[in-house]
Structure 1
Amino acid sequence: MALSVGSKAPDFTLKSKGAEGLRDIALGANLGKKNTVLLFFPLAFTSVCTQEMCDVTAGLGSYEGLNAEVIAVSVDSPFAQEAWAKKENITITVASDLNKTTAKNYEVLLDDLIGLGSVSARAAFVIDKAGVIQYAEQTPTPKDLPNFEAIKAKLASLS
């Protein structure tokens, strides 16, 4: 089960690929500055993951208006993530947890998904500027989406 509210969020540095090339994405970059919405998803190029990331991209302004950066994480390579993001016009930051360390640290790594091996569960965390988890949700199945209204409500309650 996912890390709980009140826990210190494990720091991470992951790779993201975009037009500017490979870059590091680190939770620590937001500490003291803004809140972070960390979204784990199983795999790029799948229907539910595409729906989720397209919906979040469409509403990105509402997260920015709540002083939050959205970072989506999967076990896909940054090159596959970039191709998927381009194909689907996903503009949120998508970061690669290829070695699965971050999913393990957040306790959201599924042992096996339909015979494909271990991938991250679908999960959402709101991490405040101090690095403390203020909201944590792992969905019952990878087909279920997180409660984005609850995520936004939590962000609105943070200063």
Structure 2
Amino acid sequence: MVETGDDAPDFTAPLANGDVDEFTLSAALDDGPVVLAFFPGAFTSVCTDEMCTFRDQLSEFETVGADVYGVSVDSPFALNEFREQNGLNFGLVSDIDKEIIDAYDVRMDFADLGVRGVAKRAVFVVNTDGAVAYKWVSDDPGVEPDYAEVAAAAEDAA
């Protein structure tokens, strides 16, 4: 289990950013702290609300030099459509192989719906040294993070 103060698990995965590029966490940290916002699935109501809130508050993160990335198990092609439909101005990482959710220990199942292996709603702020500066994980996919708390953690990590 990844805790605050631990080295963040590094990963390389497809990045939906209007195109499909490669994203490596350790390389992204060269530009400043990174906010990883894990969400269960694109095109669902709470996930859409969460990603749109990050979109609307992105300037708060940019002001302190932090970059925000959404992370889900959706394909990069679905994530690009999700970005376009919601005017998201930050990249979405595709964990289609479910390796990132396993590394961060945020995998969950909706057994009653027959859906297995999606991300819990979770936020990790990783500082430029690669350490987890902030961690928030919810077992309830209907609960959104405290955005002001995440922004403050990103500022502290800068």
The TM-score bracket by the shorter chain reads over 0.9
CA distance in 2, matches of 1:146, 1:92: 18
CA distance in 1, matches of 2:157, 2:137: 21
Q: Match for 2:84 among 76, 79, 86?
A: 86
Correspondence for 2:9? 10
Kept in 2: contact 1:41–1:123 (CA 8 A): yes
Tell me whether 108-117 or 66-75 shows the greater mean CA deviation. 108-117
Kept in 2: contact 1:5–1:136 (CA 8 A): yes
Instruction: Report the TM-score when normalising by structure 1.
Output: 0.92
Correspondence for 1:48? 46
Kept in 2: contact 1:81–1:94 (CA 8 A): yes
Aligned ranges for residues 3-152 of structure 1 at < 5 Å? 3-19=2-18, 21-112=19-110, 114-152=113-151
Tell me whether 26-35 or 54-63 shows the greater mean CA deviation. 26-35
Q: Mind listing any 5+ residue stretches in structure 1 that lack a counterpart?
A: none
Say if 1:151 and 1:17 are closer, same or farther in 2 by CA, change over 3 A: closer
- How much has 1:104 moved relative to structure 2? 0.2
Instruction: Report the TM-score when normalising by structure 2.
Output: 0.93
Query: What is the aligned length?
Result: 157
CA distance in 2, matches of 1:55, 1:33: 23
Say if 1:140 and 1:116 are closer, same or farther in 2 by CA, change over 3 A: closer
Q: Secondary structure at the match of 1:137?
A: strand
Query: Cα deviations across residues 31-64 of structure 1 (Å, max 9, x unaligned)?
Result: 3430000010000000000000011011111101
Q: Which amino acid aligns with 2:108?
A: L
